[in-house]
Amino acid sequence: MCLSQHFSTYLVQGLANGFLYALIALGYTLVYGVLQLINFAHSEVFMAGGFGGVLVANHVTHGQPHGFMSVLIVVAGLLGGGIVGAATAFVLERVAYRPLRRRNAPKLAYLISAIGASFFLQTMAGKEFGRNGYDIAPAYTNGTVFTIFGAQVQTIDLVFAGAGIAMMLLLDRIVAKTRLGQGIRAVAQDADTAGLMGVNIDRVIAVTFILGGLLGGAAGYLFGTLNGVSYTMGTVPGIKAFTAAVLGGIGNIRGAVLGGLLLGVVESLAISCINTDWTDVISFIVLVLVLLVRPTGLLGERLGRSA
């Protein structure tokens, strides 16, 4: 009964959330593809992007922007968030991962180092910028753009979807067509052989982190326009996005997108049916079940093969 009523409304809500999950999930998936490593600190890259977005967007926004100005501000915010996110991811790789890779450390060491980086970044953001939230000045007037099957689609939903789709297409093309993408796929398939073939593995890994950071940081800005930015904002979206990445098949770019959208919709529908407090339990149960029943995810997990 709960599903039939206003189904489309919840679907739209879920898709808007899903695009965010997907953007963050891509960061997990890219890094996992080349390093077979869960970048635990990716949630803080997302958070850093949020702060970058605040900085840029609040600097360029004056009054209530309209029309073309709004588009410019959104693009500036995405870039600001993306660049700060990319920089954070780059430094993260340099400081927390590369020394371990040099030493060929056991996998446990990477995970622990990543958790440490996550704690450090989160706490320092709170210490330096204050522990209350920041708000991003609205770049556009939110309102209902059109109604489809009874669901009101708002400007913000379209911005999420538009920005999400544009960035994902760009990433997909980069990985599929460019020389850089070729390098990423080669390292993902077999790092040692790729190294022997003359691929600069360090560079490919750094670029992978930067790409993931760009998307995660841009997602941080988008998220911030809706919910504000605070130092703890990364934790839950990070876990959700990881769930999404696993759901779609970690290491698989299209899988991450599918997983993100699916998780967003499942959560939204769950809220419509049961008490809100159980939805997080549901998404964790989805995670555990997927890992147990089909650990390779819905679309399989190799970046090298399916991208």
Which residues in 48-107 contact other proteins (CB under 8 A)? 95-96, 99-100, 103-107
Q: What angle (nearest 5°) sits at the alpha carbon of residue 170, between those of residues 176 and 192?
A: 40
* Footprint on residues 15-34 left by other proteins (CB under 8 A): 16-17, 20
Contact with other proteins (CB under 8 A) among 167, 215, 268, 299: 268
232 sits near other proteins (criterion: CB under 8 A): yes
Contact with other proteins (CB under 8 A) among 59, 62, 66, 131: 131
Report the sign of the C-alpha dihedral through residues 255, 86, 268, 153, in that order. Answer: negative
Q: Choose between 181 and 249: whose C-beta lies nearer to other proteins.
A: 249
Q: State the Cα–Cα distance between residues 184 and 175, nearest whole angstrom.
A: 7
Answer whether 28's CB lies under 8 Å from 242's CB: yes
1 sits near other proteins (criterion: CB under 8 A): no
Q: How far is the CB of 91 from other proteins (least distance, A)?
A: 10
Contact with other proteins (CB under 8 A) among 30, 31, 37, 83: 37
DSSP 3-state of 288 = helix
Q: What's the number of CA atoms in the CB half-sphere (13 Å) around residue 14? A: 22
Buried b (16+ CB within 10 A) or exposed e, 9-27: bbbbbbbbbbbbbbbbbbb
Q: State the Cα–Cα distance between residues 145 and 152, nearest whole angstrom.
A: 7
Q: State the Cα–Cα distance between residues 117 and 206, nearest whole angstrom.
A: 17
Q: How far is the CB of 34 from other proteins (least distance, A)?
A: 14
Q: Choose between 32 and 204: whose C-beta lies nearer to other proteins.
A: 32
235 sits near other proteins (criterion: CB under 8 A): yes
281 sits near other proteins (criterion: CB under 8 A): yes
149 sits near other proteins (criterion: CB under 8 A): no
> x/- site string to other proteins, residues 169 to 208, per CB under 8 A?
----------------------------------------
Q: State the Cα–Cα distance between residues 181 and 307, nearest whole angstrom.
A: 10
161 sits near other proteins (criterion: CB under 8 A): no
Contact with other proteins (CB under 8 A) among 26, 78, 117, 247: 117
